[in-house]
Structure 1
């Protein structure tokens, strides 16, 4: 997900490493903080793979600043990652939010809707944090107040997300229909 974040933010504009780190931290830092020990090796891998360009410019003080930008290869990789998120990027809320952050970069609304449909299918699969003999436990069946709270909040969040996903898919479908050339008799 770190590489997706790097590619996604650089698809929007060239950034210095520190600016990139701050944007990634703002996106998911409270849940999954990004360290220099993870960020800068990821940047180096992406540069070596030809997905990022780097150039140095004078800094505000004495130290030069590295500016990073996305290459055509990097943009193609970003689009491929957005078209085909890994299963964990669909099922994990934080990872899905990262995909969602950059999904607008996919130019095809059908592809955007397909990703949203995958998340909706995941949310529609019965699940729980807790199980009783292999059966998902519902909030009303929770053994204690705190597990009940977790399950009620998860259910409300899931319902809100399902509603938004259905609306977004519908809007993308309508926009796609409006963009399609009319077929005549």
Structure 2
């Protein structure tokens, strides 16, 4: 997801490493911190793969800084990652939010809707934090105030997300294919 975030933010505009790190932290750093030890090797991998270009420019009152920008290969890589997110990128809430943050970059509404459908199918599969005899435990069946709270919050969040996904899929499905994806955002 770190590489997807890098590609996604650089699709918006060229950035230097610190600015990029701050944007990634704002997106998911409150849940999954971004360390320099993870960010800069990921940037270097993307540069080596030809997905990013880097140039040096003078710093305002500091040493020169490295500015990163997306290459055409990087744009193609971003679109491919958005078209075909890995299963864990669909099932993990934080990872899926990262996909959502950049999904508008896909030019085809059908492809956008297909990604949302994958998430909806996952959310419609009965699940729980707790199981009894192989079956998910519902909030009303959970022992204790705190487990009930976990399950009730998860149920409410899941209901809200499923409702939004259905609305978004419907909007993307009925929109005129000639419209730009921005009108469906």
**TM-score normalised to the size of structure 1?**
0.95
* Counterpart mapping for 1:3-152 below 5 A: 3-152=3-152
Q: Is the 8 A contact 2:109 2:177 kept in 1?
A: no
Cα gap change, 1:35 to 1:154, in 2 (>3 Å): same
Instruction: Give the Å deviation of 1:109.
Output: 0.2
Instruction: Verify the 8 A CA contact 2:53 2:68 in the aligned structure 1.
Output: yes
Q: List gaps (5 residues or longer) in structure 1.
A: 180-185
Structure 2-normalised TM-score? 0.95
What is the DSSP-based 3-state SS (H/G/I as helix, E as strand, rest coil) of the residue aligned with 2:3? Answer: helix
Task: Report the alpha carbon displacement of residue 62 of structure 1 after superposing the two structures with TM.
Answer: 3.5
Residue pair 1:25, 1:33 contacting (<8 A) in 2 also: yes
How far, CA to CA, are the matches of 2:67 and 2:174 in structure 1?
A: 40
CA distance in 1, matches of 2:83, 2:20: 23
Partner Cα distance (1:113, 1:176) in 2: 14
Query: How far apart are residue 175 of structure 1 and its match?
Result: 1.1
Structure 2: any 5+ residue segments left out of the alignment? Answer: 180-185
* 1:102-140 superposed Cα distances (whole Å, 9 cap, x missing partner): 000000000000000000000000000000011000000
Residue in 2 that maps onto 1:182? none
Task: Measure the CA separation in 2 of the matches of 1:167 and 1:106.
Answer: 18
4+ residue stretches of structure 1 with deviation over 4 A?
none
Task: Give the Cα–Cα distance (whole angstroms) in 2 for the partners of residues 110 and 94 of structure 1.
Answer: 23
- Cα distance change of structure 1 residues 144 and 67 upon mapping to structure 2, 3 Å threshold: same
